[in-house]
Chain A
Amino acid sequence: MRLSRAVAMAVLALAAVGCQEKKEAPKEAAAPAPAPVSDKILIGHVASMTGNEATFGASTDNGIKLAIEEQNKKGGVKGKQIALKTLDDQGKPEEAAVAATRLITQDKVNIILGEVASSRSLAIAPIADANQVPMISPTSTNPRVTKDGDKTRPYVFRVCFIDPFQGTVMAKFANSKKITKVAILRDVGNDYSVGLADYFAKGFQGLNGQIVSDQSYKAGDQDFKAQLTAIKGKKPEAIYVPGYYTDVALIARQARELGIKVPLMGGDGWDSSKLYEIAKGALDGSYFSNHYTDEDPSPVIQEFVAKYKAAYGAVPDALATLGYDAAKVAFDAMERAKDLTGPSIRDALEQTKGFQGVSGIITIDADHNAVKSAVVLGIEKNKAKYAATVNP
């Protein structure tokens, strides 16, 4: 009985402390979007550090951390050192909203980076706008993240492709290879995959291509043979699999096991060294659209890859790269901005032109999206090789 009472007391105490945390907040000044007059610049990052997308959140965070470390060594921005605060959203949109509110209103970050998934970015966007704090999403590709109906959201930006662009890149590429019949295998629970698949289909059919089959899987599935067998029966000339590398590698293996020999095609979600580690040659002859190729001798890219390897012991994937670029674009804008208030940084971001990022030369357009070329990479002997560039 004593033990259970002690446990109950402990839980209550924890709850009380938890409530205490919230009561401490009123001690801070509650002025709307004040100009932070501290000697540090604080970057807020909202990411899935737990949950089934934790690996993507962690990757993005690594990229951001690397960028900050580099920038601090160079003296920071406007002479101030940069600090990072990453809050976990457990993969849930409502938690992303709470985390963003905390970062913006309590921690008074200068800028928010996040989120990976469009659905969570959509939860954060209204908060950024309402508090006049700029937000840069590294990888959210749904057009609605930066546009609310017909209006561009004033404080929301991104550094990645949007679905309409990237979807049509592969549609055009397939067309250029004289492919007329494609099957689609999409991750039905992932808005990135669904968006890309839809725009690919639209683009491909616009070029008189035919979608012979449209199958779905769920991220984390380990068996795709049902869908692949159905696809095989429709005899496509290629299969578009716009998912994440975690599943694509398995899909490729199982496709080959079933005797499907046609190439697979995909998007930047494929970009990771794990893809090749798992696929082990099953993806030879396949293509995917990406931001850059690590064959590119450009020093920006080579240095980044080397530094990332040194810091984290792995080759960076697309998420880490875009996290890095989002941070760097943020620093560039803050340096150019006349001061560090939200509206000034926002204005500077809007004027980002020709910024040399790792993931490409980034120009922010009127819709706050990044305009940059995509490269199409082909896979040969279990390595990526440059195949083509597609300009916007």
Chain B
Amino acid sequence: MTEFLQHLVNGLSVGTIYALIALGYTMVYGVLKLINFAHGDVYMVGAFAGFYLSHALGIDENPSLAKAGVVFVGSMAICATLGVVIERFAYRPLRHRPRLTALITAIGVSFLLEYGFQLPAVVGAGSGTPFPPGPTPRFFPEPFPRVDYEPLGVHISNYDVVSLLTAIGLMFALQYIVYRTKFGTSMRAVSFDSSVAGLMGINVNRVITWTFALGSALAAAAAVLVAGSRPTINPLMGLFPGIKAFVAAVFGGIGNVPGAMVGGLVLGLAEEYVAGYALSSYRDGIAFALLILVLLFKPTGLFGATRAEKV
């Protein structure tokens, strides 16, 4: 029983991370109908942004909750900016082109971030914080001291609790934004039909920019939460979480915000239980097997609405 509960805790911990990243994918897909391949790498940049900020604030000597907060918000801001820049220069010019073109560009941006961060250092070579950081994994300083609890024999730390609560908090905040604010309504309008939304007086460009900013900020949040408790970061760390989060988003119904959250959690739990009870060596395959099953039986995903295709 303890094992089962432990897996539950682990799975939720991993699942919330997938959910946060998946939200970015799903929102961008909703408004632009684009699979933003670079999203996983924005997550990676978030981790590194947190890394540089932590060192700038001297967290490894004096960890404190306040500093941790600054790192968290700071990296979200940095990634939001990055997301906006990518959209403005790489995707916006291609908005009226076939979707495939933007997709290829997204792949290009993804490679650029991954390999750009692996370049030899330009600034601060030889110090602990060179930029670009290069391929060697870096140690992410602990934002606040770790405390372990053991309710019912299940091992959980304050990191897990904070991470879970923050992630859930962010998801609720996003739900509120998407369904209860004017911005959210414009976002949903644009994702339904962007040209008509434009005719209705919605500034489509602004909505899309803010969507990217939001999605990227969430990815950064996920990254800092992950890096805090699993403290190695490297330029390729976004590759697989990115793909899996995308699978989660599709699983939940791409373009659907609650779907992405549920998808992420389900994927995290599924991976955890299958890896824990059955074949851990097939762990990566689980995500895709799940995806294929869903797409075979319900192609629009769990919560996706079947849209009639208008001719």
Contacts and interface: CB of A to CB of B under 8 A. Distances in A.
Nearest to A260: B155
A216 interface: yes
Contacts of A218: 240, 283-284
Interface in A215-241: 215-218, 220-223, 225-227, 229-230, 232-233
Contact of B281 (A216, A233, A249, A274): A216
Contact of B283 (A55, A217, A250, A257): A217
A258 B6 contact: yes
B61 interface: no
Given A216-B280, A246-B232, A278-B232, A226 B115 contact: no
B137 A229 contact: no
B188 interface: no
Q: How large is the interface on B (under 10, 10 to 19, 20 to 34, 35 or more residues)?
A: 35 or more
B234 to A, nearest CB: 8
A251 to B, nearest CB: 10
Given A278-B231, A278-B232, A58 B155 contact: no
Contacts, number: 99
Contact of A215 (B139, B273, B280): B280
B155 A274 contact: no
Q: Is the interface of B mostly helix, strand, loop or mixed?
A: helix
B279 to A, nearest CB: 8
A55 B304 CA distance: 42
A230 to B, nearest CB: 5
Contacts of B148: 257
Contacts of A257: 148, 155, 157
A223 B15 CA distance: 11
B150 interface: yes
Contacts of B126: 313
Contacts of A232: 3, 6
B237 to A, nearest CB: 7
A188 interface: yes
B226 A229 contact: no
Nearest to A59: B136
A50 interface: yes
Contacts of B137: 55, 246, 274, 278
A52 B135 CA distance: 8
6 contacts: A225-B14, A225-B272, A226-B276, A229-B6, A232-B3, A278-B232
Given A221-B283, A257-B148, 18 more contacts: A50-B135, A55-B134, A188-B281, A217-B280, A218-B240, A220-B239, A223-B230, A226-B10, A226-B273, A226-B276, A226-B280, A226-B283, A229-B276, A233-B3, A246-B234, A253-B230, A278-B231, A278-B232
